[in-house]
Amino acid sequence: MDNDADGRASAAHRTRSGAHEALAFRAAEGFEPVALSPVSPLGLNAILGRIDQNNVLSTIRNTEVLADPTAALALEAAVRRRRGEDTVRLCAACRVLRLQPVPDVPGFTQHFELFALVTAGRSQASYGFEIDALREHIAVYRRLLAAAGVDDYVVRLTDAPPQVLEALPGVVEDAGRTQGRGYYDGMLLNITATDREGNAVGLADGGRTDWTQRLLSNRKERLLTSGIGLGLMAERFPTAA
């Protein structure tokens, strides 16, 4: 069992991460909470997110343990879009499991708690969908961080057109980012906070994906997904809860 890191209990402070979860749902104004299953259809992350299947725990019943709540939320959003719903905004908090090695850094474990947001809708002129969705996601995280007492952070965007950056005051362009470019298809979002030791901690990540385009066979579909590590917040910002 010593080498089976994914089976170990997490050292994350459950009470603090639970407090952050409550703050997250309160911060997610306009997003409908969804209770996700702990398992997803087999191959979901490999097909949508192009994640190596070896990094996801598969079961013997054609399912896999939840590794990315945004992929599961994307499925639900696609169902609702197919039913004719206009803009779909969903959120969820859940524990996920990923099998790739994790850095030996406090707060990083193979199973951890995430709070995720997705916004699905139709393409609009002049990046209207992306601007509105990014503004809403960033506002949720700003409210959450403020409520948690985290005030030293930077919001960055990569691969965003000038008109998108101009519409989002306080957001910094990060042209040099390469991480996530195979996962997202554009407009990569990152929120990094500074902990009490002065270390930069990447708390939130997101971006536009083509998942609903592929699920619905419609190139006019748009989807923005993002997530923030609640367990990581509890570990690295212990005075914030």
CA 193, CA 29: separation in Å to the nearest integer?
22
Cα Rg of the chain (Å, integer): 17
Q: What is the pLDDT along the chain (241 residues), one digit of tens a residue?
A: 344 545 555 455 556 667 889 999 999 999 999 999 888 788 787 778 666 666 666 777 788 877 789 999 999 999 999 999 999 999 999 987 665 666 555 555 655 689 999 999 999 999 999 999 999 999 999 999 999 999 999 999 999 999 999 999 999 999 888 776 778 888 999 999 999 899 999 999 999 999 999 999 999 999 999 999 998 898 888 765 4
Cα four-point dihedral sign 110, 5, 17, 172: negative
Q: Would you say 31 and 90 are in contact if contact means Cβ atoms under 8 Å apart?
A: yes
CA 119, CA 123: separation in Å to the nearest integer?
12
Q: What domains lie within the chain, and their CATH numbers?
A: 5-34+66-240 (3.30.930.10)
Per residue in 77-103, pLDDT (tens digit) is: 999 999 999 999 999 999 876 656 665
CA 40, CA 175: separation in Å to the nearest integer?
34
